[in-house]
Amino acid sequence: MANQYNSDVLIIGAGAAGLSLALQLAPIAKISLVAKDALTEGSSLYAQGGIAAVLNDDQDSFESHIDDTLNAGAGLCRRETVAFVIKHAPEAIRWLVDQGVSFSCELESGGSPSYHLTQEGGHSHRRVIHAADATGRAIEQTLETQVKRHKNIHIFEDHIAVDLITRSGSDSDNETRCFGAYILDKRSGHVNLFQARFVILATGGASKVYLYTSNPDTSTGDGIAMAWRAGCRVANMEFVQFHPTCLYHPKAKSFLISEAVRGEGGKLSLPSGVPFMQKHDNRVELAPRDIVARAIDYEMKKHGLDHVNLDISHKSSEFITSHFPTIYRRCLELGYDMTRGPIPVVPAAHYTCGGIVTSLQARTDIQGLYAVGECAFTGLHGANRLASNSLLECIVFAHAAAKDISEKLNEKVVPVPPLPLWDESRVTDPDEQVVVSHNWDELRRFMWDYVGIVRTTKRLMRARHRIELLKDEIREYYSNFKITNDLVELRNLVLVAELIIRSALSRKESRGLHYTRDYPNLDTQHPPIDTILAPGDLTENATPRVITG
């Protein structure tokens, strides 16, 4: 039997973005907090390196962090957003500390403790605050404890949002407004109606669209797909960040080797021991990620390798095990002692720089609908995200959204139109699951092969053709059978894949994370532009509309 739940605020996602927002609003609003798996399962939980913030004014400055972010973003960052996020970073860290997050400290020469700041690629200073190599776990566990204490936060685990509920013309300004979402309770199999005055998408990224990824299974782009279907614009989906170093081992599904390992002196080499980064960039191992990932991809293809090596064993065992306890333990379980020798690594899809177009208040194109965290496009990352700027973006924009919503909570309530319950009268139980599992595998493989680190127009066209076939099959399956978690995710993955491919095809240059052999250089003839797609653009055979961001 389907249920209806009403609250002031519906937050879909419980990563760093969703949990922070829930805690900010809980004193003044009744909240439904929904996660499609266990509450804290998501990319935030696995974040290793840390959070970038200027905390040491003597040696570092906001201007320097801003410059590093703009440089990594290769001409596409929105300066206003960059300054907004970076200037709010110290306050975001203070908020996390007040919640109880315990960051790693070191003893200064005078004997007083201060936060240890690590180094990552593209940063010109040590400015990444962290909790050893498990920063995300420290954040998620602390915030989870806090949200579970709050009587205003009603938690729904194992609930996957299927679609947003919007209506046009119900407002005085005649705009489309969001009134809630249909959400599948994975345990009962019922699709319930969640009605709320404010709905926030905090659903994370879409890296599961690729065969090899550092991300957990939750990163299927659901929020981006739901927002798109509801009528929101999305931007810059071609900029998929590949992390240079994931552990290469058949049993090591999605295990990241933090960039901080290179930041603290780790060196890359071919399996023969020959170093190669000096051939690709004079910043060697600390060049921005796109450059390091492309260099590894190039060397692997050139030498027919299935991995390269990363070695930090020249540092003391004590240093390695205290800075990287999680990575050390996991590698040891799989037979690699990083205190004694190199570990095998490969690049993998890591971060979705594009997403739902949002304002500095985290508002989307739809009234009452917000997007925060990796699913949002704020303009912070441009064509390539600077390491450890993502958790920061989650916290800063969660605060910005909370501020905006708290101001609107006192405004006159918009009357809620009749919202129908989910209708399953015309669908039956799926006859066979193989359609879903086959298409899931096929999609992720061709995205890896055709829309990966190095692209060509021909490969992108091939991928687009395959997407059309998959879309038809999935559309038919979706209209005939009861939905399951896997079907909801596959439907979203195919749509997000299409957005990535169309965006990539429309960019006739190589910039940041988007590298195509057909246009290997920056377009210096025109000012840099964002790729902004609006739902009406993806009619059959239409080419995406590209407008200045």
In sequence order, what DSSP letters do the residues of 214-279 get, joined into one string? SS-TT-S-HHHHHHHHHT--EE-TT-EEEEEEEE--TT-TT-B--HHHHHTT-EEE-TTS-B-GGG
User: Any contact of residue 516 with ligand SIN (CB under 6 A)?
Assistant: no
CB of 135 to ligand SIN, least distance (A): 8
User: Any contact of residue 17 with ligand FAD (CB under 6 A)?
Assistant: yes
Distance from C-alpha of 132 to C-alpha of 116, rounded to nearest angstrom? 9
Q: What are phi and psi of 244, to 5 degrees?
A: -65, -30
Q: Is the separation of the CB atoms in 180 and 199 below 8 Å? A: yes
Q: Is the separation of the CB atoms in 192 and 162 below 8 Å? A: no
User: For residues 204 and 368, which CB has a smaller minimum distance to ligand FAD in the complex?
Assistant: 204
CB of 289 to ligand FAD, least distance (A): 11
From 9, 10, 11, 12, residue interacting with ligand FAD (rule: CB under 6 A): 12
Nearest to 479 by CA among 538, 435, 430: 430
Amino acid at 229: R
From 22, 25, 26, 34, residue interacting with ligand FAD (rule: CB under 6 A): 34
User: For residues 202 and 463, which CB has a smaller minimum distance to ligand SIN in the complex?
Assistant: 202
Contacts of 357 (CB under 8 A, 6+ apart): 232, 233, 234, 235, 364, 365, 377, 532
Residues in region 260-279 near ligand SIN by CB under 6 A = 260
User: Any contact of residue 239 with ligand FAD (CB under 6 A)?
Assistant: no
Per-residue contact track with ligand FAD, 185 to 204, x per CB under 6 A?
-----------------xxx
From 48, 254, 439, 510, residue interacting with ligand SIN (rule: CB under 6 A): 48
Per the listing, tokens 């493989």 go with 445
Q: Which residues are catalytic?
A: 289
User: Any contact of residue 309 with ligand SIN (CB under 6 A)?
Assistant: no
CB of 390 to ligand SIN, least distance (A): 5
The residue range among 111-119, 189-197, 254-262, 337-345 that interacts with ligand SIN, by the rule CB under 6 A, is 254-262
User: Any contact of residue 49 with ligand SIN (CB under 6 A)?
Assistant: yes
User: Any contact of residue 44 with ligand SIN (CB under 6 A)?
Assistant: no
In sequence order, what DSSP letters do the residues of 467-491 get, joined into one string? HHHHHHHHHHHHHHB---HHHHHHH
Residues forming contacts to ligand SIN in the complex (CB under 6 A) are: 48-49, 258-260, 387-388, 390
Residues forming contacts to ligand FAD in the complex (CB under 6 A) are: 12-18, 34-37, 41-44, 46-51, 135-136, 160-161, 202-205, 214-215, 218-219, 222, 256, 351, 373-374, 388-391, 394
